[in-house]
Structure 1
Amino acid sequence: MAGWERLRMATRARIGLGRAGDAPALRDVLAFQMAHAEARDAVHAPLDLDRLAADLAPLSFLALRSAAPDRATYLRRPDLGRRLAPGEAAKLQAGEHDIAFILADGLSATAVQHHAPALLRAALERLRPHRVAPLVVALQARVALGDEIGAALRARLCVVLIGERPGLSVADSLGVYMTFAPRPGRADSERNCISNIHGRGGLDHAAAADKLAWLAREALARGLSGVGLKEEMNPLLPG
């Protein structure tokens, strides 16, 4: 097997591409254009709430919107995606919750559509008997929106499942951000992140749920998250 072919089996990156004269091969140009189109579609596609409700059933959710009124504003004004629209916080009911899960469209609603229901179910199985707040779906949302939602629910730990910025190798990658004692103003250094959840060279749902559950239990037990909480679970890969 040629050297470049062996390397391409180990990565989704575009390496060792051929050429036809001075130009890239047509198949590589078309593949690049397709990947670019899929990434653009993922950024702009809206979250299908009806389909999400069917995929999550019998779980139900409360849908909330950020202060960004539409997708164009959301992309131009990240700050608006970090706080709830006026009146939305009043829809949340505070309780004695250990964990609040928020499904956020982020920069790839496609990722949430494809992976969030399966990951959420797997995580809930692993987190029994912790008290879980009613599920929230956040639209036009950034990661920090979970801080306001988690604080309003009075949850000890906020877990945001969000669509990651699509690239030219994966357009539907899901990320998880976990914050202990959520409240507006939390820094990114106070969060734990699990990224690259998509199952095609990234984390599959079961492996991601294992990581999520371990970090959630440790965060609740130690009373912290972020740089002070290092993952120490057994390696997921053989050896």
Structure 2
Amino acid sequence: MKTEVSPATSLERLRELTPARVALGVTGASLPTKALLEFTLDHARARDAVHAAFDTERLLQGLADLGLVAIRVSSRAPNRKDYLARPDLGRKLDEDSRARLADRGGEISPLAIVIGDGLSPMAVNAHAIALLRRLLPLLAADSVGIGLAAVATGARVALGDEIGDVLGARMTVMLIGERPGLSAADSLGVYLTFAPVVGTTDEKRNCVSNIHGGGLGYDDAAARIGWLIREGLTRKSTGVGLKDESGVRMGQAIAANSS
């Protein structure tokens, strides 16, 4: 006998599966007070995340604690206001930063790690070091060497291309704060670019996103990123030329070990 499910029950089940705002209801011509206050609070959290202070000192110390040599760099955006109004300035190093990186460059390294504030410094402050703590042992197991790391202020994703180019890195791994949403103000994204050069376009990158407490966990993110790094260096390609098959390969390995 088929059991009928009421629309109200279906919506309740849907709410359990997503943080999205669905079927909030109405009071007169407006939202219920509770829904309106929750929206206002989440909007305020998103704005706060964009304007949060970027804790460069703690990030530099965190990288040092992980055994990485790191340098502080800045984009050409002189302040947060200009950074938000002029995305192009966040894609280029200022002259002093480029010169200091050039002085530290030299030998070609497999990997350069860049931590940038992006549109949510809050996300980077919260998650970048914890994610790297899971990722670095995976890279060590694959014998992937890491050159100089950088902590970049006023950074857009493409800033990692210039940093990697100046340092002579075969691949750049950019950890950056994603644009805050109303369900996650502290989401971290990781962009991987093989053969980074100024002018690299987005189809040449892989991205692992939605890394935060209510999204992709550190261990799963590290496993996926580690797989992409290893395969990207082996195949000499990222972006559309490198499909993320980390989950498929892990599933096959588990099945083979259990048979």
TM (normalized to structure 1)? 0.94
Alignment partner of 1:34 is 2:41: yes
User: Aligned residue for 2:93?
Assistant: 84
Shift of 1:46: 2.0
SS of aligned partner of 1:23: coil
Which residue of the other structure, out of 236, 239, 247, is the alignment partner of 1:234? Answer: 247
Alignment partner of 1:199 is 2:213: yes
Shift of 1:135: 1.6
SS of aligned partner of 1:99: strand
Shift of 1:52: 2.8
Alignment partner of 1:18 is 2:28: no
Between the aligned partners of 2:190 and 2:156, the Cα distance in structure 1 is 12
Alignment partner of 1:144 is 2:158: yes
Q: After the TM superposition, which residues 29-178 of structure 1 pair with which residues of structure 2 at under 5 Å, given as runs?
A: 29-59=36-66, 61-92=70-101, 93-94=104-105, 95-128=107-140, 129-178=143-192
SS of aligned partner of 1:88: helix
Task: Deviation per CA, 1:37-71: give whole Å up to 9, x if none.
Answer: 01001111120223334544514521100000000
Name the aligned partner's letter for residue 39 of structure 1: A
Higher helix share: 2
Between the aligned partners of 1:154 and 1:69, the Cα distance in structure 2 is 26
RMSD over equivalenced CA pairs, Å: 1.9
Between the aligned partners of 2:57 and 2:162, the Cα distance in structure 1 is 25
Between the aligned partners of 2:59 and 2:112, the Cα distance in structure 1 is 18
Shift of 1:87: 1.8
Name the aligned partner's letter for residue 129 of structure 2: P
Is the contact made by 2:60 and 2:71 (CA closer than 8 Å) also made in structure 1? no
Count the aligned residue pairs. Answer: 238
| Identical columns (%) | 50
Structure 1 runs of 4+ off > 6 angstroms? none
Shift of 1:191: 0.6
SS of aligned partner of 2:95: coil
Between the aligned partners of 2:108 and 2:62, the Cα distance in structure 1 is 27
SS of aligned partner of 1:141: coil
Between the aligned partners of 1:208 and 1:25, the Cα distance in structure 2 is 37
Compared CA separation, residues 29 and 44, structure 1 to 2 (3 A): same
SS of aligned partner of 1:68: coil
Between the aligned partners of 2:231 and 2:240, the Cα distance in structure 1 is 13
Mark the structure with the bigger radius of gyration: 2
Between the aligned partners of 1:148 and 1:57, the Cα distance in structure 2 is 23
| Larger displacement relative to structure 2 (87-96 or 223-232) | 87-96
SS of aligned partner of 1:87: helix
Is the contact made by 2:49 and 2:180 (CA closer than 8 Å) also made in structure 1? yes
Between the aligned partners of 2:16 and 2:176, the Cα distance in structure 1 is 28
Between the aligned partners of 2:148 and 2:194, the Cα distance in structure 1 is 17
Structure 2: where are the runs of 5+ without partners? 1-7, 255-259
User: Aligned residue for 2:233?
Assistant: 220
Between the aligned partners of 2:16 and 2:57, the Cα distance in structure 1 is 38
Shift of 1:8: 0.5
